[in-house]
Amino acid sequence: MTMETVVLTGAAGRVGSVLREPLRRRLSRLISVDRAPLTVQGPNEEVRQTSLTGIEDVMSVIRGADAVVHLAGVPDEAPLADLLEGNVLGTHHVLEAARRTGTKRVVLASSNRLTGCYPAAQTVSPHLPPRPDGLYGVSKVAVEALGRLYADKFGMEVVCLRIGSLEHEPSEPRHLATWLSPRDCAGFIWSALTRPDITFTAAYAVSANTRRFWELDDQLGYRPQDDAEVYADRIPGATQYFTGDPLQGGVYATADYTLRHALDRQPSDGSFC
């Protein structure tokens, strides 16, 4: 499948920042979009500063593109209203704008935290039911459902990548299972953009970690190259972490994490609800 022009939303974020250079190397034109200011990094890149708050806003950016990689949104646990606005409505705006402009392929940023309440001892495939480890994970369940709807109902090609822990090197015990190297991140994204004969798929984007929690999906045709185990002797507490059989989400799956980040906030006027 030929790709010449791709729109990358959330280009200033952690994943977007990693992808801009490898995408520019492969494309004739990369349109990098974020509400934060961006600086052009090469002659075949355009940058747009916009919040993409409505369908028409998205249409003005993606018209004429071959595909969209949609990374923009709320990246962590937050109040549900914020997650619905940033992740669910934002994804709907992108999918509907793509439908109206005839942009057939859309790659959506899902998350491994969609299944973070499975035990670490269980290998999870994308076909198992969601067990989100918080409200952020719930928002990603909705993102994947929207992608499936637009593939089934409108004939679009949608890939939902359940992105692992994107780091230059793993730095904590959980990363030995969840690490996604920058090289493998770029590989998964490119396969999601160019793999032919896809209608809808949800797949884990994770490096070939010896201790990984998740099955790799052959439908995308990309085999990851890196393994967090190379760094295991640099990470204190790795042995104890895995013998304790934690939930896959680790700290994200604790009640306290959601209470602190999403539910333990009082309205600014001091009232209670």
Specify whether the CB–CB gap between 68 and 9 falls below 8 A.
yes
Specify whether the CB–CB gap between 124 and 214 falls below 8 A.
yes
Which of the 8 DSSP states describes residue 247? B
DSSP percent split of the chain into helix, strand, coil, nearest 5: 40, 20, 40
- At residue 32, φ and ψ (nearest 5 deg) are -95, 125
DSSP assignment string, 156-204: -EEEEEEE-EE-SS--STTHHHHEE-HHHHHHHHHHHHH-SS-SEEEEE
Q: Return the number of other C-beta atoms located less than 10 Å from residue 60's C-beta.
A: 14
Calpha distance 49→271 (Å, rounded): 36
Write out the two tokens for 204.
């884990």
- At residue 132, φ and ψ (nearest 5 deg) are -65, 145
Calpha distance 19→186 (Å, rounded): 6
- The rounded Cα 77 to chain-centroid distance in angstroms is 14
- The question of whether 136 is a catalytic residue gets the answer yes
Where do the H-state alpha helices sit in the chain? 14-26, 55-62, 80-83, 90-101, 135-154, 175-178, 182-194, 238-243, 255-258
Catalytic member of 118, 136, 150, 257: 136
Catalytic residues: 136
